[in-house]
Structure 1
C-alpha cells in the first residue's frame, strides 16, 4: 500500500465566506471525489478533496493517514483548528494517488478533516467511479 500526494494547493485568492453560517457543523466536512484509473498500467485510486480551513491562521493541511479496509479507504486531512467559529475560510484542493494489490476492490472513500488539537473530525463518504 502506497499513497502519493500529488498536490496541496490553496485555490482562493480572497477569503471564502459561507452564506449560511448558522447551519454549518465544524469542522466542515471535505468535498471529495474518487476514481480508479490506470497510471502507467497500474490500477490507481485518485482521491480529490476540497477542504475549508479558517483563513485567520490558515496553514497547509497535511495528509495524515490512509487506511484500506476491505472495500473502503479512510483518509485523514489534518490541521490545527483555532477553536473559534471562522468568519472566513481558505479553500484547499488536495489530490492523492493510492495503489495497493487490492485497490480494484475499493467501493467507497471516507475522507475526514481532522483537528489535531483537540482531536475531532468530520467526514464524507464518497463512492468510487471506475
Structure 2
C-alpha cells in the first residue's frame, strides 16, 4: 500500500534512523499559543536544549524541545528517530527527528489554522548506543540536531545545539 502526501498526492517520506522506544519520550505538554502576522510555508525551527548525563554508569542524552505546530488539533503523541552522523567539523552528532503517525498528520492537516500556532514542549532521552559506530559512545556526542519532520522532508526544519554536561 502506497502512502500519499496529504496535500499533493506524493509519497509520504518517513525520517531516517532508529525509532526510540515510547518510554524514551518522557513528556509532551502544551506550552501556549502564538499568532504571527504571516503564515509560513515550512515548519518553524524548534528551540532545543540537550544535556549529557551519567547516572549509575549509564550514559544518556536528554533533550528538551519547544516546537510550534500550525494546527488546532491537539498533539498528544510523537515519535522520535535517532540517527548518528558527523558534523561539518568532524564532530560526532546525533540527529533526532520528531514526527507523528500518518493518522495524526492527517488530523493536523485538517485543522491547520492561518497564522496560529500551538506550542508544545517535548522531552525525551536516549541511551541507545547500538546504532553508533564501533568505538563511539554517547559521551563522544558533541552536538545534536533536532528536526520537526513534516510528512515531506522538503518542509522539515532542523535546529543544532551543543550537548551540555551535568558535571
> TM-score scaled by structure 1?
0.79
Go from structure 1 to structure 2 and tell me whether the alpha carbon gap of 1:61 and 1:113 turns closer, same or farther (over 3 Å shift).
farther
Aligned to 1:69, the other structure's residue is in SS state: strand
Residue in structure 2 matched with residue 37 of structure 1 by the alignment: 53
Residue in structure 1 matched with residue 145 of structure 2 by the alignment: 110
Q: How far, CA to CA, are the matches of 2:53 and 2:142 in structure 1?
A: 13
Contact 2:71 2:109 in 1 (8 A): no
User: What's the offset of the Cα at 1:11?
Assistant: 1.9
Contact 1:5 1:95 in 2 (8 A): yes
Go from structure 1 to structure 2 and tell me whether the alpha carbon gap of 1:86 and 1:75 turns closer, same or farther (over 3 Å shift).
farther
For each residue in 1:22-57, what CA deviation from the matched residue of structure 2 results, as whole angstroms up to 9, or x when unmatched? Answer: 7x5620011101110123331211111000002333
2:67 is equivalent to residue 17 of structure 1: no
User: What's the offset of the Cα at 1:92?
Assistant: 0.6
Q: Unaligned 5+ residue runs, structure 2?
A: 1-17, 87-91, 130-136
Corresponding pairs, count: 125
Q: Kindly report the root-mean-square deviation, in angstroms, between the aligned alpha carbons of the 2 structures.
A: 2.6
2:72 is equivalent to residue 56 of structure 1: yes
Q: Unaligned 5+ residue runs, structure 1?
A: none
Go from structure 1 to structure 2 and tell me whether the alpha carbon gap of 1:100 and 1:77 turns closer, same or farther (over 3 Å shift).
closer
Larger-gyration structure (1/2): 2
Contact 2:72 2:113 in 1 (8 A): no
Q: How far, CA to CA, are the matches of 2:149 and 2:52 in structure 1?
A: 25
Residue in structure 1 matched with residue 109 of structure 2 by the alignment: 82
Aligned to 1:115, the other structure's residue is in SS state: coil
Bigger share in strand: 1
Of 46-55 and 80-89, deviating more is: 80-89
Q: How far, CA to CA, are the matches of 1:94 and 1:77 in structure 2?
A: 9
